[in-house]
Amino acid sequence: MAIIRSLEPGSSNVRENRTEVDATFQVIESAQQGKLLHIATYGSDSRKSEPKVSQVLQLNKAMALQLSEIIRRTFE
């Protein structure tokens, strides 16, 4: 689990992921950060065990707004 502290353009060679997963989100309160957007992804359908949290990201307001702007510019 991690709170994202910075979000910068990358330059590595990446490809589309072929595995799809489900995700949930919650809004939580942090004494240090205030509101956080908590996003959890769950294992793929091919996972042999019951679904469980695979990755977790948390964004504070500043990072959520930055990500929102990146998404807007990407898909306009």
Go through the domains of the chain in sequence order and give each one's CATH number: 22-75 (2.30.31)
d(CA 54, CA 9): 24
pLDDT reported for residue 48: 63
pLDDT tens figures, 39-60: 999 987 776 667 788 899 999 9
Please give the single-letter amino acid code of residue 29. E
How many helices and strands in the chain, by DSSP H and E? 1, 4
Sign of CA dihedral 63, 59, 30, 27: positive
Low pLDDT (below 50) residues in the chain? none
pTM: 0.83
What's the confidence (pLDDT) of residue 53? 87
